[in-house]
Structure 1
Amino acid sequence: MEKTATLNLRVNPKVKERAEAVLSRLGVPMSTAIDMYLNQISLTGSIPFSISLPKAPDTINVDLMTEDELHAKLQKGYDDIEAGRVQNAEKVFAEFRKKH
């Protein structure tokens, strides 16, 4: 089938870079991977993978906690703050972004 249509899209540069690294190892050009993705959408009539929100582990899912369990976890957090067992959130997120 002749390829004459052009897509112009914006993506996160880091996501693109990581995807290109994987595709390079597979020997698949980015344009071919996108063509494969679009073909699967047209063949299946849906996105070809499951899309869902991540499920919170039961140990931190407030909806599954009793009031006493919630208060105990909150108290532990306050105790950690008082004892200096804390981390700078900005630094933690920056490190996370570097790794992911």
Structure 2
Amino acid sequence: MSKTANLYVRIEPELKEQAESILSALGIPASNAINMFYKQIILQRGMPFELKLPEQRVLNFNQLTEKEIDLELQKGIDDVKSGKIKESKQAFADIRKDYKL
């Protein structure tokens, strides 16, 4: 049996809970998942997934054509029709949380 080393990390409790819930459903202990992650880093000689900033697209309505404006408005209408809505208080709370405001 090989020797082991300890790894101490700080992680957001909610993130840890959600990840460990999924790992539990898969029957994988967290320590095994971390070992697999490290082995993939070695095999890939880097992160085992793509790291990039999400495309940041701020709409400037002054630069959009009428057709592009209509498409953006239609996206909002489609979201409302499909139930992808939330109360404004919750939306602003989510923004403050996500951007640590």
TM-score by length of 2: 0.60
The residue aligned with 2:93 is 94
**How many residues are aligned here?**
77
Distance 1:95 1:32, change over 3 A: same
Once the two structures are TM-superposed, the CA of residue 30 in structure 1 deviates from its matched residue by 0.2
Report the Cα distance in structure 2 between the residues aligned to 1:20 and 1:3, rounded to whole angstroms.
Answer: 24
1:42 CA displacement: 1.2
Tell me by how many angstroms 1:68 deviates.
Answer: 4.2
Seen in structure 2, the aligned counterparts of structure 1 residues 28 and 93 have a Cα distance that, compared at 3 Å, is farther
Backbone CA RMSD of aligned residues: 3.1
Unaligned runs of 5+ in 2: 70-86
User: Aligned pair in 2 of structure 1 residues 33, 25: CA closer, same or farther (>3 Å)?
Assistant: same
Question: What is the TM-score of this pair, normalised by structure 1?
Answer: 0.60
Indicate the residue corresponding to 2:20 in structure 1.
20
Larger radius of gyration: 1
Residue aligned with 2:10, SS: coil
Among 55, 58, 61, the residue aligned to 1:61: 58
> What is the CA distance between 1:53 and its match in structure 2?
1.3
Q: % of aligned pairs identical?
A: 39
